[in-house]
Structure 1
Amino acid sequence: MVRPVSDITGHPDIAEMRAHYDQVSETPAARITDGALVLAGLYLAISPWVIGFPLYETNLAVNNLIIGIAVAILACGFASAYGRTHGVAWLPVVLGVWTVISPFVIQRGYATGGTIANNVVVGVIMICLGLSAMRPTFAVSRKR
């Protein structure tokens, strides 16, 4: 017998899983990770003006602004409702990889050293924090 999709939301396993993820999101490590990820995203968003990107790097500046805001919003979602957002915890890792390679893709080899260093450092930080945001689900064992 096929049940409607709406019936699955009340399934006891789903409720238990969400409660587990909410418990995990309250750990100090998860809070630090989420806070640092928000800061990394906000820094990436303002980095073109902090570093002083040249005028010919406008496309990269817009890219950093959009990616930075997206990462900050994702991290806020992880901090406030990890039970509902844990399925997209891999996105900061992908966005971090894109941040690392974006100066080479968008500027096609004409990016300045400061721009490249900025994006590589922030991208690696985002990758590490993103991996850490994915990891807490295994830190707290389920009680059966």
Structure 2
Amino acid sequence: MADVAMHSRIEEHPDLLALRAHAAEVSAKPALQAVEGLTLLTGLYLAISPWVVGFNGNPLAISNLVTGIALAVLGLGFGSAYERTFGMGWAAAGIGAWAIIAPWVVQHASATTGTIVSNTITGAVALLLGVVTTAMAARSRRT
């Protein structure tokens, strides 16, 4: 039987320590820090956009508030706990896709031009940031 080293705590396992060191190295790169910050700002704008654009008081405002907060929390997670959240870039892309289609799904025919433009641009930015985060995570797994 092979000689297997036993560790009293999982946090002391060499593979886990190496994985955390790699995640810390990747998250220290300026490109990823920029994506984290932009994701946070995009989420905050999505959350406050009903009051900025002027469509508060309807179901789309609630949708934007909830999804904007979720996107901002993801952005914070990318920055503070990259080793546990790097695979969640797809969720940011999903939130972006939802923001793009939400004016038609939630408001049907009552969506205004400002609502559609705001959600489309914000959703496209969130979608792009989610794809970039996912690509960076995939690239970091290969190295």
Amino acid aligned to 2:15: D
TM-score normalised by structure 2 residue count: 0.84
Give unpaired runs (5+ residues) of structure 1. 1-6
Secondary structure at the counterpart of residue 88 of structure 1: helix
Is the counterpart of residue 24 in structure 1 residue 26 in structure 2?
yes
Q: Deviations over 1:32-86 (max 9, x none)?
A: 000011000000111001001164xx11001101110110011001001100112
The whole-number CA distance in structure 2 between the counterparts of 1:63 and 1:112 is 16
Aligned to 1:89: 89
Alignment of 1:127-142 (within 5 A): 127-137=127-137, 138=139, 142=143
Larger radius of gyration: 2
Counterpart CA distance in 1 for 2:89 and 2:36 is 11
Deviation at 1:141, TM superposition (A): 6.3
Does the CA-based 8 Å contact 1:25-1:136 persist in structure 2? no
Describe the shift of the 1:9–1:104 C-alpha distance in structure 2 as closer, same or farther (beyond 3 A).
farther
Structure 1 counterpart of 2:60, which letter?
L
Contact 1:40–1:126, Cα closer than 8 Å, also in 2: yes
Measured after TM superposition, the shift of residue 9 of structure 1 is 6.1
Q: Greater relative contact order (Cα 8 A, min sep 6): structure 1 or 2?
A: 1
Contact map agreement 1:34 1:75 (CA 8 A) in 2? yes
1:91-121, Cα deviation, whole Å (9 max, x unpaired): 1001111111111110112201110111010
- Residue 89 (structure 1) shift: 2.3
Structure 2, gaps ≥5 residues long: 1-8
